């Protein structure tokens, strides 16, 4: 058993019991981050802040939201938006954050792809990050059901239908997921549970894993340089902060993060107050009506690229392509056969692959929303085939990459 | 530093392109564009005669004329039957004409009196083939110059209507839309604002009358017209304007008549719809300003902190 002495201060008392000095050292003042990074490295903190905003605003909304198919719509659009003081503010914050969080996730993800931050010991960071993407997607979808508007209902109908597996006709599975033949009370209540309990808990756990996975391989840097963290940390601690290649998480890295967070929040609150329409689809301001299919059914923008991989094909092939798109990013560390963990700009064909992938996904995103007819279906089909093709050729173009 | 700036430009550019494609571009491809007619009712003939209020009064009140079905509360003519009973006979409760002269465009009113189905753009429903006639009978004249008589009636209706400044958005909505559309967030039903009753029986009694009225409407129009509480947000403002001035332009064959309101009244109606659906729009702008000031100050301090910390890192 540890030896305790009479405490000289509250700090000392806590320190003897919780080791707060050590925790602070390990977690903050001696957690080393490379110095050679740009603002894209702050996206993790931006995401943490956005997730906190979602959590806090969600808690406030939860106090008035009613998960009942007869009252859900009005509890959001009347009670929260009109009756509750600042209810509208929390709802706008929640809706905008739910949309913007995906923009940041995509930036974060493409940063990792560009700088090769999923290679050489960083595979678990990538995997846990992709699991977070899946969890956030499920969180976004389940949350979208809750206002019980037209788009909630019909998106719920369309997406749960995917589980019938086309020609497999697994209608029993679809009914099991819905708890009914169509989205109804059982459906709403279970998606409510998922949204406010099970998925948030999962996300919190995965965030822990994601942070933990960073610890041993350390954060990557702008040039993919392999840094001897112990040597550089010693240099920093000896006082040669300018000469060291590392900085402390607190306050060095944090101060830069907060600068980026500050700029981000200006953008974020501008959207909340003056430009929120993109995050609150007009169609969802009509109450759910199972007898009235909306003219256009489309998911939120962040799902459009994978939706468009589903759409241009016949049912079965479309579902296979869709399933492919859902899992393929997870396998990136193994499909990329190159020995180099450096920025794409120094990797020859991979550089082209990266930019084509980015442009292709934006194309898919755009085509996923417009009506699938005429030139748009052709562009969508080509973009979907390009997406699949890109992943098929990735091992081959990276296999022959020269070591830099 | 320059490199970071370049990266920022690339990130912002890709974000804006994506935004443009999924929002303005995609929506322009999804919805057909209808040009505004600016509430000119160009298809209706202009009034050629100058109306006489007194003669108009005689015609409106005359036997077998307007007051046979319409009440005019400002002139002391009260409805002889309640809204539910009226709807049972006509399909919908005929409007009270007190403010008709202000709410509706004069050309529209004149054409409506002469040929309701034409003015309302409902000739696809009421014509010789279907054998149906609009519940409001055509005016065949009272023996004199019919155009003069119609001009007189319009002049009378204009003379009794409230002053423009006195017409609230709520009145505009109730007159133009409220006999077919409910707006539950404003407690409006097709038979009027639901009062707070002390006894449950009275409340249920009101509901029964409302449901009976709605049944008549369903039979008359084919379906119950939607509740408009959230329409300001679920439809664009441009959609509402063009739909109000000519429903057929957006939804061919709809049972909704052209309402015939003036541009000013349409503005008032839409303002009322905004009051229901986007109640906090003024408060949002005010609070938005304060939050923006606060967050810019926060960003400035964050920037200064970074500068301070990084001084010894370079």
How would DSSP label each residue in B135-163? Answer: SSPPP--SSS-HHHHHHHHHHHHHHHSPP
Give A51-58 contacts, CB < 8 A, sequence gap 24+.
Answer: A51/A101, A51/A203, A51/A207, A53/A93, A53/A97, A53/A268, A54/A94, A54/A97, A54/A98, A54/A101, A55/A200, A57/A90, A57/A91, A57/A93, A57/A94, A57/A97, A58/A94, A58/A196, A58/A200
Q: Do A366 and B22 touch (CB under 8 A)?
A: yes
Same domain, A207 and A312: no
The answer to whether residue A6 is domain-embedded is no
Name the residue among B232, B123, B220 with its Cα closest to residue B179: B220
pLDDT at B9 over 90: yes
Alpha-helical (H) ranges within A115-248 are 123-145, 150-161, 171-178, 185-193, 199-215, 229-237
| Listed residues A251, A266, A293: the one ending a domain | A293
Best to test chain A binding among B13, B16, B32, B233 (most A CBs inside 10 Å): B233
Q: Do B288 and A272 touch (CB under 8 A)?
A: yes
Summarize the confidence of residues A5-13 as an average pLDDT: 95
Same domain, A354 and A231: no
Rounded Cα distance between B244 and B260, Å, is: 8
CB contacts, 8 Å: B304 with chain A: none
Nearest by CB to B299, from A241, A255, A266: name it.
Answer: A266
Same domain, A310 and A206: no
Q: Do B313 and A35 touch (CB under 8 A)?
A: yes
CATH of the domain at A238: 1.20.810.10
Report the gap between the CA of B48 and the closest CA in chain A (Å).
Answer: 44
pLDDT at A361 over 90: yes
HEC string of chain A equals CCCCCCCCCHHHHHHHHHCHHHHHHHHHHCCEEECCCCHHHHHHHHHHHHHHHHHHHHHHHHCCCCCCCCCHHHHHHHHHHHHCCCHHHHHHHHHHHHHHHHHHHHHHHHHHHHCCCCCCCCHHHHHHHHHHHHHHHHHHHHHHHCCCEHHHHHHHHHHHHHHHCHHHCCHHHHHHHHCCCCCCHHHHHHHHHHHHHHHHHHHHHHHHHHHHHHHCCCCCCCCCCCCCHHHHHHHHHCCCCCCCCEEEHHHHHHHHHHHHHHHHHHHHHHHHHHCCHHHCCHHHHCECCCCCCCCCCCCCHHHHHHHHHHCCCCHHHHHHHHHHHHHHHHHHHHHCCCCCCCCHHHCCHHHHHHHHHHHHHHHHHHHCCCCCCCHHHHHHHHHHHHHHHHHHHHHHHHHCCCCC
Rounded Cα distance between B45 and B48, Å, is: 9
CB contacts, 8 Å: B306 with chain A: 255-256, 258-259
pLDDT range class, residue B306, cuts 50, 70, 90? very high
Q: Do A358 and B312 touch (CB under 8 A)?
A: no
* Number of Cα atoms under 13 Å in the Cβ half of residue A181: 1
pLDDT at A1 over 80: no
Q: Do A261 and B302 touch (CB under 8 A)?
A: yes
Q: Do A262 and B303 touch (CB under 8 A)?
A: yes
Local structure of residue A295 (DSSP, 8 states): S
CB contacts, 8 Å: B231 with chain A: 285
| Number of Cβ pairs < 8 A linking chain A and chain B | 136
Work out how many domains chain A is built from and give that number: 2
CB contacts, 8 Å: B21 with chain A: 362, 365-366, 369
Q: Provide the 10 A C-beta neighbour count for residue A385.
A: 15
The DSSP code sequence of A347-360 is: STHHHHHHHHHHHH
Rounded Cα distance between A306 and A328, Å, is: 12
Q: What is the mean pLDDT of chain A?
A: 96
Same domain, A264 and A319: no
Same domain, A233 and A303: no
Summarize the confidence of residues A320-346 as an average pLDDT: 95
Same domain, A32 and A59: yes
CB contacts, 8 Å: B234 with chain A: 282-286
pLDDT at A106 over 80: yes
Q: pLDDT tens digits, residue range B168-184?
A: 999 999 999 999 999 99
Rounded Cα distance between A52 and A30, Å, is: 25
User: What is the three-class DSSP state of A31?
Assistant: coil
Q: What is the mean pLDDT of chain B?
A: 94
User: What is the three-class DSSP state of B77?
Assistant: strand
B150 in Cβ contact with B114 (< 8 Å):
yes
Q: Do B22 and A369 touch (CB under 8 A)?
A: yes
pLDDT range class, residue A181, cuts 50, 70, 90? very high
Q: Do A296 and B18 touch (CB under 8 A)?
A: no
CB contacts, 8 Å: A107 with chain B: 11
Same domain, A242 and A93: yes
Q: pLDDT tens digits, residue range A114-170?
A: 999 999 899 999 999 999 999 999 999 999 999 999 999 999 999 999 999 989 999
Report the gap between the CA of A369 and the closest CA in chain B (Å).
Answer: 6
Best to test chain B binding among A356, A370, A373 (most B CBs inside 10 Å): A370
pLDDT at A267 over 70: yes
B242 in Cβ contact with B36 (< 8 Å):
yes
Same domain, A57 and A115: yes
Residues present in chain B in total: 314
| Listed residues A277, A293, A309: the one ending a domain | A293
Tokens for B147? 């155009």
- Would you state the pLDDT for residue B65? 83
The answer to whether residue A220 is domain-embedded is yes
CB-based burial label for A189 (10 Å; 0-12, 13-18, 19+) = middle
The answer to whether residue A5 is domain-embedded is no
Residue appearing with tokens 């001696």:
A30
Nearest by CB to A269, from B185, B292, B312: name it.
Answer: B292
Which of A166-170, A261-265, B210-214 has the lowest average pLDDT? A166-170
Same domain, A289 and A312: no
The answer to whether residue A396 is domain-embedded is yes
Rounded Cα distance between A190 and A58, Å, is: 17
CB contacts, 8 Å: A296 with chain B: 30
Strand partners, B188: B183, B193
- Would you state the pLDDT for residue B141? 85
Nearest by CB to B26, from A247, A251, A369: name it.
Answer: A369
Same domain, A242 and A328: no
Best to test chain A binding among B23, B280, B281, B285 (most A CBs inside 10 Å): B280
| Domain coverage including residue A219 | 17-293
Report the gap between the CA of B233 and the closest CA in chain A (Å).
Answer: 6
Best to test chain A binding among B227, B310, B312, B314 (most A CBs inside 10 Å): B310
| Listed residues A264, A293, A322: the one ending a domain | A293
Percent over 70 (pLDDT), chain B: 100
Report the gap between the CA of B285 and the closest CA in chain A (Å).
Answer: 7
Q: Do B229 and A252 touch (CB under 8 A)?
A: no
Rounded Cα distance between A278 and A298, Å, is: 13
Rounded Cα distance between A391 and A3, Å, is: 58
Residue appearing with tokens 């080393």:
A32
pLDDT at B64 over 80: no
Same domain, A347 and A210: no
CB contacts, 8 Å: A258 with chain B: 302, 305-306
Q: pLDDT tens digits, residue range A75-104?
A: 999 999 999 999 999 999 999 999 999 999
Percent over 90 (pLDDT), chain A: 97
Same domain, A374 and A243: no
Q: Do A273 and B298 touch (CB under 8 A)?
A: no
Q: Do B299 and A40 touch (CB under 8 A)?
A: no
The answer to whether residue A2 is domain-embedded is no
User: What is the three-class DSSP state of A248?
Assistant: strand
Rounded Cα distance between B110 and A371, Å, is: 43
Dihedrals phi, psi of A214, to nearest 5 degrees: -75, -25
Q: Do B306 and A255 touch (CB under 8 A)?
A: yes
Name the residue among B14, B7, B12 with its Cα closest to residue A345: B7
pTM (predicted TM-score) = 0.95
Rounded Cα distance between A156 and B107, Å, is: 48
Summarize the confidence of residues B275-294 as an average pLDDT: 97
Strand partners, B77: B72
Nearest by CB to B233, from A251, A273, A285: name it.
Answer: A285
Best to test chain A binding among B282, B294, B295 (most A CBs inside 10 Å): B295
- Would you state the pLDDT for residue B62? 82
CB contacts, 8 Å: A45 with chain B: none
Rounded Cα distance between A68 and A173, Å, is: 23
Nearest by CB to A259, from B25, B291, B306: name it.
Answer: B306
Rounded Cα distance between B104 and B123, Å, is: 20
Tokens for A28? 């903050």
Report the gap between the CA of B154 and the closest CA in chain A (Å).
Answer: 38
CA A156 to centroid of chain Cα atoms: 20
CB contacts, 8 Å: B30 with chain A: 295-296, 369-371
Rounded Cα distance between A139 and A196, Å, is: 9
Report the gap between the CA of B191 and the closest CA in chain A (Å).
Answer: 22
Report the gap between the CA of A79 and the closest CA in chain B (Å).
Answer: 10
Compare all CA atoms of chain A with the CA of B295 and give the residue at the minimum distance: A266
CB contacts, 8 Å: B312 with chain A: 241-242
């Amino acid at each position: 058993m540890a030896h305790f002495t009479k405490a000289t201060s509250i700090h000392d008392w806590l320190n003897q019991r919780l080791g707060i000095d050590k925790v602070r050292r390990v977690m903050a003042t001696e957690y080393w981050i490379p110095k050679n990074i740009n603002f894209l490295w702050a996206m993790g903190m931006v995401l943490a802040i956005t997730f906190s905003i979602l959590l806090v605003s969600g808690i406030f909304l939860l106090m008035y939201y009613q998960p009942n198919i007869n009252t859900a719509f009005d509890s959001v659009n009347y009670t929260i938006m009109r009756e509750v003081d600042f209810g509208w503010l929390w709802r706008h914050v929640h809706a905008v954050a739910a949309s913007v969080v995906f923009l940041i996730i995509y930036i974060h993800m493409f940063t990792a792809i560009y700088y090769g931050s999923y290679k050489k010991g960083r595979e678990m960071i990538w995997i846990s990050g992709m699991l977070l993407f899946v969890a956030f997607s499920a969180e976004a979808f389940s949350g979208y059901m809750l206002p019980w508007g037209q788009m909630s209902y019909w998106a719920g109908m369309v997406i749960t239908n995917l589980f019938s597996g086309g020609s497999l006709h697994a209608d029993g599975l679809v009914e099991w997921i819905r708890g009914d033949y169509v989205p109804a009370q059982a459906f709403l209540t279970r998606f409510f549970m998922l949204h406010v309990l099970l998925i948030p808990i999962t996300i919190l756990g995965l965030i822990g894993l994601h942070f933990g996975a960073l610890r041993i391989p350390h954060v990557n840097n702008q040039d993919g340089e392999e840094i001897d963290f112990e040597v550089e940390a010693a240099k920093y601690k000896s006082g040669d902060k300018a000469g060291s290649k590392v900085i402390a998480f607190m306050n060095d890295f944090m101060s830069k993060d907060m600068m980026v967070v500050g700029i981000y929040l200006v953008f974020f609150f501008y959207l909340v107050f003056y430009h929120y329409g993109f995050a609150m689809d007009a169609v969802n301001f009509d109450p759910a009506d199972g007898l009235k299919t909306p003219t256009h059914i489309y998911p939120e923008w962040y799902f459009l690229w994978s939706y468009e991989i589903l759409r241009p094909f016949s049912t079965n092939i479309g579902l296979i392509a869709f399933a492919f798109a859902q899992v393929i990013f997870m396998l990136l560390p193994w499909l990329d056969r190159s020995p180099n963990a450096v920025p794409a700009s120094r990797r020859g064909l991979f550089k082209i692959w990266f930019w084509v992938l980015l442009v292709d996904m934006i194309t898919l995103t755009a085509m996923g929303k417009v009506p699938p007819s005429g030139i748009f279906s052709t562009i969508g089909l080509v973009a979907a085939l390009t997406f699949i093709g890109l992943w098929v050729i990735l091992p081959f173009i990276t296999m022959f990459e020269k070591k830099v | 530093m320059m490199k970071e700036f370049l990266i920022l430009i690339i990130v912002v550019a890709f974000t804006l392109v994506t935004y443009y494609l999924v929002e303005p571009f995609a929506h322009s491809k999804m919805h057909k564009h209808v040009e505004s007619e600016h509430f000119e009712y160009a298809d209706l003939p202009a009034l050629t005669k100058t109306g006489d209020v007194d003669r108009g009064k005689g015609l409106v009140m005359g036997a077998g004329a307007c007051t046979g079905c319409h009440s005019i509360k400002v002139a002391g003519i009260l409805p002889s039957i309640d809204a539910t009973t009226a709807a049972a006979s006509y399909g919908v409760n005929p409007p009270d004409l007190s403010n008709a002269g202000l709410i509706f465009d004069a050309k529209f009113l004149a054409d409506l009196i002469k040929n309701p189905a034409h003015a309302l753009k409902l000739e696809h429903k009421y014509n010789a083939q279907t054998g149906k006639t609009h519940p409001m009978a055509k005016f065949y004249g009272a023996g004199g110059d019919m155009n003069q008589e119609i001009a007189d009636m319009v002049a009378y209706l204009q003379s009794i209507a409230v002053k423009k400044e006195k017409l609230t958005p709520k009145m505009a909505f109730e007159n133009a839309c409220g006999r077919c559309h409910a707006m539950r967030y404003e407690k409006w039903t097709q038979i009027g604002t639901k009062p707070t009753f002390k006894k449950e029986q009275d409340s249920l009694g009101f509901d029964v009358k409302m449901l009976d009225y709605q049944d008549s409407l369903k039979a008359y129009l084919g379906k119950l017209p939607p509740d408009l509480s959230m329409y300001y947000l679920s439809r664009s403002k441009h959609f509402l304007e063009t739909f109000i001035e000519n429903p057929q332009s957006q939804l061919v064959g709809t049972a909704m008549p052209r309402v015939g309101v003036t541009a000013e009244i349409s503005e008032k109606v839409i303002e009322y719809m905004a009051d229901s659906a986007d109640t906090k729009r003024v408060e949002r702008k005010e609070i938005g300003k304060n939050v923006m000031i606060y967050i810019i100050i926060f960003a400035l301090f964050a920037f200064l902190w970074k500068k301070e910390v990084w001084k010894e890192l370079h």
